[in-house]
Amino acid sequence: MSRVPVRFAAALAAVLALLLAGCGSGGSEAPAAGPTPGFPVTVQHAFGQTTIPTRPQRVVTVGYNDADFALALGVVPVGVRDFIGAFDETTRPWAQQALNGARPEMVGGNEIDIEKVASLQPDLILGVYSYMDRATYDRLSQIAPTVADPVENVAAPWQEQTRITARALGVPERGEQVVGDVERRFADARAANPQLAGKSIAVALVASGEYNLLGRDDARTQLFTGLGLGVQETTETLSTEQLGRLDQQGVAVLGVPPQTVLANPLFANLGAVRADRVAFLGDEASPVAGALGFSSPLSLPFALDQVTPELARVYGTP
């Protein structure tokens, strides 16, 4: 996770301003002879709009987490991008059932391997969470219809990423069902833990000795805000003198084991730490860190099961 760039998630209202235009709604049936029901579909994104003529059969995902969104909608990609970092995403527990033993080929990590993408002969390239630039989009779109980020250098909230992906795959109804199912999981967790509502939390990503206070512009905070916790708007890297800003009603630490930060006297002497109001959520190789990084319809329920009990401890029982 330390090598994953901090990703900026737009406010939901800003993303909703991008209208997704489509011709009808597709189902999940196999392609029929002649025109495919629900297609063509047109999806708008940062670099214009992409028309997908028929239901895709060979999907390559070039976004950091796009594979999970395709899997949640019943599509196993033939190629995926490395999530980057210490977490081994090939073993992620929340995706194994959907993968059903498949092992998609890697099509890059820090950079997209365009030649590898082409070799897989895709009929759709999904990069909704890819941070691709215009030049990369232009090259990919020569291979197959390509859906880029909804706004350049801005990532959509998981709900919108699900809907964008579902429209591109021709299964908008299934996308709404997936969003509804996960939102109900969050609603149940909020109802069971009303003590979380409106409380502040400092989400600290610690990597290479740096303390990053994550904001709502980072995908990894979506679980916390979904539970009703207050997270600051913008991600910041804190200097040593600024570590006191972590002293909020609760603290969540990602990226390092507890002993690493507790060895720092400035951290150890924070009021929240002395009051045992810290949730240590694993180092960068842990499944919880990976699940928060993916922030997908598959990984968020897994993360809820792992993280919510610890947050309940931090904030006390209802």
pLDDT for position 35: 66
Question: Would you state the structure tokens that stand for residue 29, as one six-digit string?
Answer: 């049936």
pLDDT for position 155: 77
pLDDT for position 267: 97
pLDDT for position 295: 97
pLDDT for position 32: 42
User: Percent of the chain beyond pLDDT 70?
Assistant: 89
pLDDT above 80 (res 93): yes
Task: Tell me whether strands 202-207 and 210-214 are parallel, antiparallel or unpaired.
Answer: antiparallel
Torsion angle in degrees (nearest 10) through CA of 77, 81, 87, 91: 20
CA-closest candidate to residue 26, choices 151, 161, 175:
175
- Is the CB of residue 131 less than 8 Å from the CB of residue 53? no
User: Percent of the chain beyond pLDDT 90?
Assistant: 84
pLDDT above 50 (res 282): yes
- Is the CB of residue 221 less than 8 Å from the CB of residue 214? yes
CA-closest candidate to residue 255, choices 109, 5, 86:
86
Please state, in angstroms and rounded to a whole number, the distance separating the CA atoms of residues 236 and 23.
Answer: 42
Q: Which residues contact 235 (CB under 8 A, 6 or more apart)?
A: 6, 8, 212, 213, 214, 215, 217, 218
Q: Is the peptide bond before 40 cis (omega within 30 degrees of 0)?
A: yes
Tell me the average pLDDT of the chain.
90
pLDDT above 90 (res 23): no
pLDDT band of 85, cuts 50, 70, 90: confident
CB atoms within 10 A of CB 307: 22
The neighbouring-strand residues paired with 80 are 61, 106
Please state, in angstroms and rounded to a whole number, the distance separating the CA atoms of residues 129 and 157.
Answer: 10
Please state, in angstroms and rounded to a whole number, the distance separating the CA atoms of residues 160 and 12.
Answer: 8
Q: Which long-range contacts (CB under 8 A, 24 or more apart) does 306-310 make?
A: 306/281, 307/223, 307/252, 307/279, 307/281, 308/189, 308/192, 308/193, 308/227, 310/279, 310/281
Please state, in angstroms and rounded to a whole number, the distance separating the CA atoms of residues 189 and 297.
Answer: 15
pLDDT digits (tens, 9 = 90+) for 228-281: 999 999 999 999 999 999 999 999 999 999 999 999 999 999 999 999 999 999
pLDDT for position 307: 98
Q: Taking residues 174-200, report their average pLDDT.
A: 98
Rg (CA), the chain: 20
pLDDT above 80 (res 31): no
Q: Taking residues 155-181, report their average pLDDT.
A: 97
- Give the H or E element holding residue 126: strand 124-126
